[in-house]
Amino acid sequence: MNTLIAIIGLGILCLLFEIFDARKAIIPIVVIGLLAILGLDISEYNNPNTYYNNMLIVGKFSSGFSGLFIILTIFLVSLSHKFYENHQTKISDFIAIKIFLLAGAVAMVSFGNLAMFFLGIEVLSIALYVLASSNRLSIKSNEAGLKYFLMGSFASGIILFGICLIYGAMGSFDVTEISELSRSAELPIWFPIGIVLVFIGMLFKIAAVPFHFWAPDVYEGSPALTTALMSTLAKVVAVATLYKLVKTMNADISPAFQLIIVIVSIASMTVGNIMALRQVNVKRMLAFSGISHAGFMLMTLLSISKSSGTLLYYTSAYALAGIAAFSVILYVCKTKENEDITNFHGLGKNNPLMAAILTASLLSMAGIPVFGGFFAKLFLFNQAIQAEFIALVIIAVINSIISVGYYFKLILAMYTKEPNETKIPTPTVYYAVAVIAIVLNIALGLFPSFVLDLL
Amino acid sequence: MNTNLALLLLLAPFLGFLFNIFFGKKIGKTASGVVGTLTVVLSFALTLCFFSKINIDQQPIQIQLFNWIQISNFRVDFGFLLDQLSILWLLFVTGIGSLIHLYSISYMHDDENMHKFFAYLNLFIFFMITLVIGSNLLVLFIGWEGVGLCSYLLIGFWHKNQEYNDAAKKAFIMNRIGDLGLLIGIFIIGSLFPTLDYTTLKTAIASSNNLDISMISLAAFALFIGACGKSAQIPLYTWLPDAMAGPTPVSALIHAATMVTAGIFMITRLNYVFDLAPEVQNIIAIIGAVTSLVAATIALVQTDIKKVLAYSTVSQLGLMFLALGFGAYEIAVFHVITHAFFKACLFLGSGSVIHALHGEQDMRRMGGVKKVMGITFITFLLSSLAISGIPPFSGFFSKDEILMTAFHNNIALWVIASLASLMTAFYMFRLLYLTFFKEFRGTEHQKSHLHESPALITFPLIVLAILATIGGAISLPTGSWLNGYLAPLFSKEAHEAHHFGTTEYTLMAVAVLGGIIGITIAFVKYIKQNQVPAEDAEITGFAKVLYNKYYVDEIYDAIFVKSTNVLSRFFRDYVETSLSSLVFGLGKVTNELSYQGKKLQTGSIGFYLFVFVLGLCSIVTYLFLAQ
Amino acid sequence: MTNILNEIGIENYIFLSVILFCIGVFGVLYRRNAIIVFMSIEIMLNAVNLLFVAFSTYHQDAQGQVFVFFSMAVAAAEVAVGLAILVSIFRNLGSIDINNLKNLKG
Amino acid sequence: MNVSLLLIILLVGAFATYFAGDKLASKVALLFSLVALGTSIALLNAYNVGENISFFKYWINNPSVSYSFTADGLSLIMLLLTTTLTPLIIYSSFGNEYKNAKSFYALILFMTFAMSGTFLASDGLLYYIFWELALIPIYFIALIWGNGDTEERKKAVVKFFIYTLAGSLFMLIAFVYLYQKAGSFLIQDLHKVELSRMEQFWIFWAFFLAYAIKIPIIPFHTWQAKVYQKAPTVGTMLLSGIMLKMGLYSVLRWQIPITPIASKTYLPILIGFGIAGVIYGSIVALRQKDLKKLLAYSSLAHVGLIAAGCYTLNIDGLRGAVLQMLAHGFVVVGLFFAAEIIYRRFGTRTIADMGGIRTQAPKFASLFMILVLASVALPTTFNFVGEFTVLYSLYQINVWFALLGGTTIILGAYYMLKMYQQVMLGETNSKVFADVNFHETLVLVIIIAVIFFFGLYPRPINELITPSLDQILRTLNRIQ
Amino acid sequence: MIHIPDFAHASTVQITFCFLAFITVITAFLAIFSRNPIHSALYLVISFFSIAGHYLLLNSQFLAIVHVIVYSGAIMILFLFTIMLMNLNKENEVHKPRITRLGAIVSFCLICIVLILVFINSKPIAGEYIATGEDYQSIKVLGRVLLNEYMVPFEFASILLLTAMIGVVLLSKKEKTEK
């Protein structure tokens, strides 16, 4: 609760800075503030509590994920400085929106009432719509914003309909109450339908097949930093929320529902990976890669009672790798019109460190050992096999193999092609964020227990 | 003491090899030749020492060095067994070896790589000694492969000529086919009586009462295949004539006197195994007889002096196998020894002629060298008489015993062997007449340079000719020293000297008569009628088939080499690529899927939402309507 | 005081709401004018709001109606943002036909 | 003193090499590899006097994974192979100039680190991690410093990476499945797991896929020739000399003991695969135009025989396989180095462009000849000891296996001698071929010395590995 | 089961419901089908009014008022302004290609049928609807619930609006060009 309040306070503070014309100080202050909030969040980790008539449930799950979100936001905010160099007048708006987005995210993982859930997801979505179309003069950005907005609102409608049906069945929005009631035998069919509709709406948010079509287009069109945010923070938030929703409201998942999850998971992995193979735009490629990762993350729903640690681990590994990758992409494509793979030619020669970081993050996403991504997949497979979904694991493995194909396409471009142009200087902040993110990722790999046992 | 001596005996040539490899070039040609020769002479001297020892106490000397290969149920040691057989073999290996080394000092003097030649020869002697004195089959195998290697190196000694290299390769590979058989034999023996050691094996066989005869027969057959490879028997004989590409001393040493007899040595060594497998023995006898006849017929029309001798070697080896097949090991050994003498002498003699003619090997370009090369001619004549089985030369005794044994066992084989003997006499004297008699048919240049070879060459010739003449004395029909000497080796009482009756004398007469007939025909044809073999193109009819060695090489080439190559090309061009494209194909298919899939991503919001709705409907339908 | 649903039946509200919702979906799919698409989304949200109120009556519970306020707030916010995006597109393209927005694909 | 020290040395070495800069990199790498060699010898000593050299530390709680390194005779001998070959390989590269040398040598040391880890790890997951880690450096080595057309090289190397990764991921599934059964990744616990026939079969084939691709066993070998051809020689040496052995070692260490029933059931099929590899590899090698590709196929043939030996499941087969692994490791490194020596002078790997070298470089010719002979397993060479033992073990299964496997004796001689003839013999080459220099001679002489020493006296190795192999067989036969 | 209102014996409430429902659905359809955006907007306003009628029917007067104010008063005006701003009050919209329209109709039918079937398949609510008689939808009660229990979401909704506001400003504000 305190975390949420502090985040909102920070957001408003940020807006105030604009008024007092202290733009230069915004980013440092926000980063420091977020670090402080991270500390606050950690302090809440061991004090599970509920606030305001069960509106917010703060516990290990919520503070664990909130911590991850805050860390990701710190990275994203740090990157903002350079990215919005030419939009100095708007920087406070950008930062404030991001912080409110974080607030929405935190609300989503700590909701105790569907109202909080719905408002959280809307804050997140609206912030994203804005950010996606924030490059106002670019037609692509506009298109991305509109596509995301239209489809996102559509999905919101579905979610809302689902919530309504749940309310119709239960007469309450409180998840604990719903969870208790859901154990009683006599339930109107509205409840499962409601759950399914909310589920589908969330599948849209995490971009799972067949609700994934928006992701590549939006990722490609949005400004790169927004893409970074979407593919890391937003995706992670959506998955965590979906997990929490399914976990808190529907203790035992029926076999039919499991089958749906399995099919969606398989479809996401396969479609995501196969489609990524022939992409030229790196952001678009990472969008498809994100779709496939969504499929992987959905696997946690199959052993829902004990996979929260795994999910946190997977999302952390994925998001950190994503941050590292995107900081390199931001660096490389700063002066370019697009993010095509040709821009990466010869990066291994021009800037070996950045190339190495991008390689490492791609390897992590591909699930090569020592990087966090490998352990994430391992734990995931472990639990899926424990829940006796071996076929799913085999398909997941085949998909991992396919994914190597396109991750390596990028690596190959960096190391085997001749550079197109001379070296461009790297802003320190990109270096710093990329290095810290990838170091954290490797640290995750070396000490998996640290995160895994949090939840 | 024995150990050290035996080690010295073994290692002396090896040290010679090392010395010549590392310092041979520096110390000069003659010096390296002398070093090489001396080391072998040293071995010979030590062999004599052991020979005298074993003659006194009759006890085989066993030496264990160290554990070599460990197998689950037995282990193989480096060890030596110096018994009658091995010492006998050592005697003529090192003896003839010394002579040929001596010969080579002069013969190879013009070659820039003479030190290497001696190094290889020394290495050969080393491996041959290893082969002979090894105490078990695996040490024998070291020598067995080692001599094959040296044979390879020496055949391809003039490595700039790819044809010679081909011959060398062919020899090595054909030998290896045999080696595989030998290995299989070793495996069978090793697993049946968990040992490879000769002595242990012998006691194991003797003490065992329920032997798996079929497996033993298989082992014997496999070992025989090995012997076929090394001793150039059908079907693995074709390498030997080609091996004549090497320098002549090599042909004399390796491809006539020593290495090719390794098969006979091995079979004799394991006589107790072969005695248990009579069917295999029959096969050996038949193969031996057929080989001797086939090789003899080919030799009839060859024009290359060394090729004739090579086929003659194959033919003689066939006779030895014939004897082995009848279990007459000591007779085979006897023929090995006499053959070593006269064939080495013949080769060296031919080498002397070739040397005089600056490398000319075609008999059609020779003739009449008798006049200038007296010593060579006489030694050659004596050896030819020996090989033709004319009494009292050594060949008469050994060959006669073989024929006699054959007659007693199988008339048909006797007929074949006799025919082969007759032909032997013919082609040897054809060779003699064409080379030494009549007028010289070579170029003027060659004629002007004709000369008798130097003493270093003629001395070994003389020694060998003497041995070829009197060598029969070691096993006279009336009282055989050799049989007595070798008796401890054989389990059953060695074939007693045949009771000499009318049959025996008749047979002897027939054999001698055959020899004389052969010589006479040759005389009529090449002296009286003064024929000279036709040029290659003019050879027709059956002679052409013979001249082309029954086209065996071509057949082998077509069946094995060509097909392997075709297969290889097929594998390389089709199987490899298709396997590869199978793997790539998976990638291609996925890529194609990706390409097609991209079309789905139309960019149209309507379509995206349409799929969204479809997805929603199907999930809801599945969950709530289909249940 | 009786529950008004006794006369109408909650099912009828559900059906009405579903039909209205589906009309909204249909509108989103059918039209290419972005403004009308927005309106369709509003129809969808209103369908849900209607159902909320019906359920609120069904349960005799105020929470459903409270939720409608939130939903309205969300709708308002969405419309504001959506229209802002739309205006920005209109400035760039001079049209709000969503069929023209196919630059991003493949 | 325990085995983790060695791993630390290698890892530190990799970093030190990177930071030493391009000029010093090769020397620093050599230094560290020699230190590693020294350490492994010291470890061997410690092991022989009965000291406990294993290392154990908990790592991840759930799933339970630990840093567990144990070294028995088998691991130690593989470790020695790795640490002996690495300095040789590094030293052999002294004649070449590599751009960005610091990364190159650092990657070599890192790869050695990963491979050593694979040989030492006794926790399934840890083993898997090292197994995969070894793949990354070789990928970059082959990709960046390789030769030939970039596009083709890329294709080959990526195929190799994806292919091997694909195989090993199935192994990962098997491990995870086993973990569910055993509750631990530790090898001793995995050995105790009672698996049904069906489970064993699945796990067996999952392992097999990983190993068959890595070793490689036909028909999973398609990556091999191209990668060997395209990789820089150092990479080829690492791949063929050590990395292949990872697969074979793993068969012995992991696959067979964990799935005894399946191993026994599939024994003939697997030996058949191995022997098919022998014959197929030999025949394909006959008509190769590229020297490195030819050697690659010869390697395929040899490794097929070793694999067949591993799958005989008798002590001779296992022992022979290990001996042959070591022997092949040395010989193949020597042969590839010989190819590199020719390449340095002629700038070609095409056999047709060679020939007539022997007259110009007698020393090289002799050394190369000895390597060729060792490769065809002439008695007294190390290879013979291994090959004989393996063939004998095959004979114990079936005489036909021995016969067909034995064709390697014939075919091996055929293609190797043919290669030697075409490369070295014939009319003197018009191009100048300088004889081997000191560095090159030293590398080859060391290899040859090892080959002959253990060819004549393999006993120390035998004594070292036999207890471990016996242990493996005991585990294998725990269920009759 | 769906029960068709028996118009012969229908109560006023039922008739009102049917009438309002009819208006709502028809105007919604018209809003979508009419080619002129202004007409659409106006139809939609009618539709919203009829929904407000439903609210009144359900006796939630406050909500009905708020609904009218927010939707008809604010949102639809916003729409109309935008339409005017963009000068879109022309019937110039080209129809989507036939296949798209077909797709739209298919998916409409599909989702309609599926959802309705699902609800039809469900077992009907048995028995009387509860009527506690308590006040649950007066302004007083709503205010209490909103500001006590739902205080946090209420506050959070302000964040939502704030975000939207900043966002809209961000999107429409002209940048001061530096220097």
Neighbouring chains of E at 3+ CB pairs under 8 Å are A, B, C
Q: Do B590 and A154 touch (CB under 8 A)?
A: no
pLDDT at B430: 86
Residue of E nearest to A86 (CA): E178
- CA–CA min distance C105, chain E (Å): 17
pLDDT at A370: 85
Percentage of chain A surpassing pLDDT 90? 58
Mean pLDDT of chain D: 90
Domains of chain C as residue ranges with CATH: 11-97 (1.10.287.3510)
pLDDT at A76: 93
Task: Compute the distance between CA of residue B545 and CA of residue A208 in angstroms, rounded to an integer.
Answer: 80
Nearest CB to A154 within list B594, B603, B609: B609
Whether the per-residue pLDDT at D28 is higher than 60: the answer is: yes
Whether the per-residue pLDDT at E177 is higher than 60: the answer is: no
Q: What is the pLDDT of residues C8-55, one digit of tens each?
A: 888 888 889 999 999 999 998 888 888 889 999 999 999 999 999 999
pLDDT at D15: 93
Within an 8 Å CB–CB cutoff, is residue A443 touching chain D?
Answer: no
In A, which residues are within 8 Å of C70 by CB distance? 115, 118-119
**Burial of residue B316 (number of CB atoms within 10 Å: 0-12, 13-18, 19+):** buried
Whether the per-residue pLDDT at A20 is higher than 90: the answer is: no
Q: Do A274 and B615 touch (CB under 8 A)?
A: no
Nearest CB to B568 within list D219, D286, D407: D286
Among C50, C78, C98, pick the best mutation site for testing chain E contact (most E Cβ within 10 A). C50
Mean pLDDT of all residues in A251-255: 73
Within an 8 Å CB–CB cutoff, is residue A449 touching chain D?
Answer: yes
In chain D, how many domains are there?
1
Note the pTM of the prediction, 2 decimals: 0.91
Task: Compute the distance between CA of residue A327 and CA of residue B187 in angstroms, rounded to an integer.
Answer: 66
Neighbouring chains of C at 3+ CB pairs under 8 Å are A, B, E
ipTM confidence:
0.92
pLDDT at E130: 73
Mean pLDDT of all residues in D89-102: 87
Whether the per-residue pLDDT at E3 is higher than 60: the answer is: no
| Fold of the domain spanning E1-108+115-122 | Four Helix Bundle (Hemerythrin (Met), subunit A) (1.20.120)
- CA–CA min distance B612, chain E (Å): 10
Task: Compute the distance between CA of residue A455 and CA of residue A310 in angstroms, rounded to an integer.
Answer: 9
Within an 8 Å CB–CB cutoff, is residue A141 touching chain E?
Answer: no
Within an 8 Å CB–CB cutoff, is residue D151 touching chain B?
Answer: no
In A, which residues are within 8 Å of D169 by CB distance? 397, 400-401
Element (H, E) at A56: strand A56-58
Task: Compute the distance between CA of residue B122 and CA of residue D66 in angstroms, rounded to an integer.
Answer: 59
Task: Compute the distance between CA of residue D313 and CA of residue D291 in angstroms, rounded to an integer.
Answer: 35
Name the H helices within E59-173.
61-67, 76-85, 98-121, 139-144, 151-172
Virtual torsion, Cα D306, D307, D313, D319, nearest 10 deg? 20
The two counts, helices (H) then strands (E), for chain D are 20, 2
pLDDT at E1: 42
Q: What is the pLDDT of residues D183-236, one digit of tens each?
A: 889 998 888 888 888 989 999 999 999 999 998 888 888 888 889 988 999 999
Whether the per-residue pLDDT at E175 is higher than 80: the answer is: no
Nearest CB to B617 within list E103, E104, E114: E114
Within an 8 Å CB–CB cutoff, is residue D205 touching chain B?
Answer: no
pLDDT at E179: 41
- CA–CA min distance B621, chain C (Å): 16
Distances (CA, A) of B76 to B140, B186, B553: 11, 12, 38
**What backbone phi and psi angles, to 5 degrees, belong to A307?**
-100, 10
What are the tokens at B126? 């080393």
Domain map (residue ranges) of chain E: 1-108+115-122, 135-173
pLDDT at E178: 44
- CA–CA min distance B603, chain E (Å): 13
pLDDT at B360: 80
Residue ranges in chain B whose pLDDT is less than 70: 491-500, 536-537
pLDDT at E112: 87
pLDDT at A254: 84
Domain map (residue ranges) of chain A: 266-455
Count CB pairs under 8 A between chains B and E: 31
pLDDT at D435: 86
Q: Which range has the top average pLDDT, A83-87, A284-288, A445-449?
A: A284-288
pLDDT at A274: 92
Q: Do A278 and B595 touch (CB under 8 A)?
A: yes
Q: What is the pLDDT of residues A79-93, one digit of tens each?
A: 988 888 777 778 888
Mean pLDDT of chain A: 90
Kindly report the CA angle at E114 between E108 and E117, in degrees rounded to 5? 130
Within an 8 Å CB–CB cutoff, is residue B613 touching chain C?
Answer: yes
Residue D281 covered by a domain? yes
Nearest Cα neighbor of A364 from A425, A426, A293 is A293
Q: What is the pLDDT of residues D426-464, one digit of tens each?
A: 888 888 888 888 889 999 999 999 999 999 888 899 989
Confirm if A24 and A81 have CB atoms less than 8 A apart.
Answer: no
Do chains B and D meet with 3 or more Cβ pairs nearer than 8 Å?
yes
Q: What is the DSSP string of B38-72?
A: HHHHHHHHHHHHHHHHHHHH-PPEEEEEEEEEE-S
Distances (CA, A) of D405 to B186, B445, B572: 15, 55, 21
Whether the per-residue pLDDT at A252 is higher than 90: the answer is: no
- Distance from chain centroid for Cα E159: 23
Q: Do A88 and E123 touch (CB under 8 A)?
A: no
Query: How does DSSP classify residue B491?
Result: S
Confirm if A100 and E164 have CB atoms less than 8 A apart.
Answer: no
pLDDT at C2: 66
Residue of D nearest to B570 (CA): D284
Q: Measure the N-to-C terminal CA separation of chain D; round to a whole number of Å.
A: 39
Q: Do B608 and A193 touch (CB under 8 A)?
A: no
Q: Do A142 and C21 touch (CB under 8 A)?
A: no
Q: What is the pLDDT of residues E83-136, one digit of tens each?
A: 888 877 665 656 657 777 888 888 888 888 888 888 887 766 666 677 777 788
Kindly report the CA angle at E115 between E110 and E121, in degrees rounded to 5? 120
| Window 159-188 of A, Cβ < 8 Å to C | 160-161, 163-165, 167-168, 171-173
Q: Do C106 and B610 touch (CB under 8 A)?
A: no
Within an 8 Å CB–CB cutoff, is residue D22 touching chain A?
Answer: no
Name the H helices within B108-136.
114-133
Q: The tokens 């589908």 sit on which residue?
A: A200
